[in-house]
Structure formats: structure tokens, C-alpha cells
């Protein structure tokens, strides 16, 4: 039996992984999954459907783990996300809000560093790790970069792949040192802890105010998209809170109060 399993694993490795995931899910939810068919008996349509199911199942199982790992790294800072590095490089001196033009140049600089092997480990493997919210994990080497840039537009590649790539903190220090720049204090460990996370609220509120000044028909979803472009690490709940606080102040600014005065009858003597 062991020889049969090893031969199946060598002949059809993807089918073997799909069958393992299928049996695991069937054991978790008895009665919902039919008896599996061996991979060698699959038709072309069945193989496509099973591959799609396996991809969705992997996303469901890995996405929460990746999200928890990202939340931990935002505080521990053992790994640094490239989007956070681009955010620090895009912030002009003396200005709390990032600049879109500087952000684009920062991503080009990070892409050139990736393609040039600047984030390469001593054993020759890439130290940049792609952790996508859909459950994808991949080392960002030159071959992977070439495939992604050929199949996706530049903006999609930056938003969906390059922005979700992480590098060790030692490589991040070397990246800034080679360019003669000081390592940003906001990328140090502990800067995103709950006690210090409130420091970003004034910047988010300022970004919301700028959005309200630029957009003639503001909306909450528009404010979220605008601020997320400026601060990718900002949570949607915090942006909605800043928008809700800014809208009443904007509506009542320069207008007389409409609060009605409630008259109470004085007690009779």
C-alpha cells in the first residue's frame, strides 16, 4: 500500500495533494462529501473542478494564518513589508502624508533591488517572501518577478504582489544603509503596539480632511480608498471612525445650531 501511495505521489503530485485535502475535509464534515474518485480516473472537467476546489480550500485555511502573522509582524518587526518601506520613502521631509509620485519611485527602487538580487540570502535563495491574502506563498526571485510582470499590469503587480512581499529586518536595514538613509523609527519593533498605535490617528484624520476638501461628492467608501492609498497599513475601522467624526464637523461648520429648546412647565405653587 505504501508503494502504491508513493507511486501515485510521484506520478501525480497535485492529485495526491488534492486527495489528501479532500479526505481531511470529509473527515471534518461527515456526510457532506461523497466517496472520492482516484486521480487517475478523473476526467478533464473533474480535474479542473477539483483543482479549483483545492485552490479555494487552501485559501480558506491559510488566509487567517497569514493575517495573524502580518498583525504580529507589524509589532514585532522581524519581517518588514515592502509597502511599509515604500510608505516611509514616499513621505516628504516635514510632511506626515505620503506623496503618490514619491511612492511610485519608491516601488520602482524596491523592484530594482529585488531584480538585482539585493535581497538575496547567503545560500543563493531569495530572502523576499510573498504572502498574499489568498493564501499564496512564494519566494520572489527573478523568475517569479518576470512571470508576474508579464501576466499583470504594473499597478496590479504593485498592489497585489509587490505590496504583500516581506523581507527580514536585517535586509531592510541594509537597504537603507546602502542608500545612506537612516532607518525609519516607525519601522522599529514595538512602534505599532496598542499604546503607540494612536499616533497614526492625526495622520489619518488629516488625510480624511484632505479627501473631503478635494472630492465634491464625498462618501465613506471613497474616503477609505483614498486613505488606504496614502496609508496601506491603516485599518478600515479607523478610517470610518475618522470619516464619521469629520462629517458632522463639516456639516455644522458655519451653520446655526438647529437644536430645539425644550421648555418645561414650571411646577405650580
81 and 159 in one domain?
yes
Name, in order, each residue with C-beta under 8 angstroms of 126's C-beta and a sequence gap of 6 or more: 114, 119, 120, 139, 140, 141
Does the structure show a pLDDT above 90 at 96?
no
204 and 174 in one domain?
no
Q: How many domains does the chain have?
A: 3
> Considering the domain boundaries, does residue 158 fall inside one?
yes
Of residues 56 and 157, the one with the higher pLDDT is: 157
d(CA 250, CA 253): 5
pLDDT digits (tens, 9 = 90+) for 33-52: 666 667 777 778 777 877 77
**Rounded alpha-carbon distances, angstroms, from residue 240 to 51, 166, 223, 227, 232:** 38, 27, 8, 10, 15
26 and 83 in one domain?
no
> Considering the domain boundaries, does residue 226 fall inside one?
yes
Answering whether pTM is above 0.85, one says no
pLDDT digits (tens, 9 = 90+) for 164-208: 889 999 999 999 999 888 888 888 876 554 434 444 566 788 888
**Contact by Cβ (8 Å): 207, 229:** no
pLDDT at 175: 93
d(CA 206, CA 186): 18
> Considering the domain boundaries, does residue 223 fall inside one?
yes
Beta-bridge partner residues of 120: 126
Mean pLDDT over 224-233 rounds to 78
pLDDT at 94: 66
Give the residue numbers spanning the domain of 230. 199-251
153 and 232 in one domain?
no
Q: Average pLDDT over the chain, rounded to whole?
A: 75
**Contact by Cβ (8 Å): 89, 104:** no
**Rounded alpha-carbon distances, angstroms, from residue 75 to 91, 110, 126:** 21, 22, 24
pLDDT at 171: 92
Name, in order, each residue with C-beta under 8 angstroms of 198's C-beta and a sequence gap of 6 or more: none
pLDDT digits (tens, 9 = 90+) for 107-120: 999 988 988 888 98
pLDDT at 225: 83
Mean pLDDT over 77-87 rounds to 89
Amino acid at each position: 500500500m505504501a508503494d502504491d501511495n508513493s507511486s501515485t505521489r510521484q506520478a501525480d503530485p497535485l492529485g495526491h495533494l488534492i486527495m489528501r485535502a479532500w479526505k481531511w475535509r470529509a473527515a471534518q464534515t461527515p456526510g457532506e462529501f461523497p466517496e472520492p474518485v482516484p486521480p487517475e480516473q478523473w476526467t478533464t472537467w473533474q480535474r479542473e473542478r477539483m483543482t479549483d476546489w483545492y485552490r479555494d480550500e487552501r485559501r480558506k485555511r491559510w488566509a487567517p494564518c497569514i493575517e495573524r502573522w502580518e498583525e504580529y509582524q507589524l509589532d514585532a518587526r522581524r519581517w518588514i513589508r515592502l509597502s511599509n518601506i515604500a510608505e516611509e520613502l514616499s513621505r516628504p521631509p516635514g510632511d506626515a502624508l505620503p506623496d503618490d509620485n514619491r511612492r511610485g519611485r519608491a516601488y520602482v527602487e524596491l523592484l530594482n533591488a529585488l531584480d538585482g538580487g539585493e535581497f538575496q540570502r547567503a545560500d543563493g535563495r531569495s530572502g523576499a517572501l510573498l504572502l498574499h491574502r489568498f493564501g499564496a506563498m512564494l519566494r520572489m526571485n527573478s523568475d517569479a518577478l518576470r512571470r508576474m510582470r508579464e501576466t499583470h499590469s504594473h499597478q496590479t503587480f504593485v498592489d497585489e504582489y509587490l505590496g504583500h512581499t516581506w523581507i527580514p529586518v536585517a535586509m531592510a536595514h541594509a537597504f537603507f544603509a546602502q542608500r545612506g538613509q537612516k532607518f525609519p523609527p516607525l519601522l522599529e519593533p514595538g512602534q505599532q503596539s496598542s499604546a503607540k498605535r494612536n499616533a497614526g490617528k492625526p495622520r489619518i484624520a488629516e488625510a480624511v480632511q484632505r479627501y473631503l476638501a478635494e472630492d465634491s461628492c464625498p462618501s465613506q467608501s471613497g474616503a477609505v480608498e483614498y486613505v488606504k492609498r496614502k496609508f496601506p497599513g491603516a485599518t478600515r475601522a479607523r478610517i470610518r471612525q475618522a470619516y464619521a467624526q469629520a462629517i458632522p464637523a463639516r456639516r455644522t461648520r458655519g451653520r446655526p445650531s438647529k437644536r430645539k429648546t425644550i421648555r418645561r412647565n414650571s411646577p405650580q405653587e
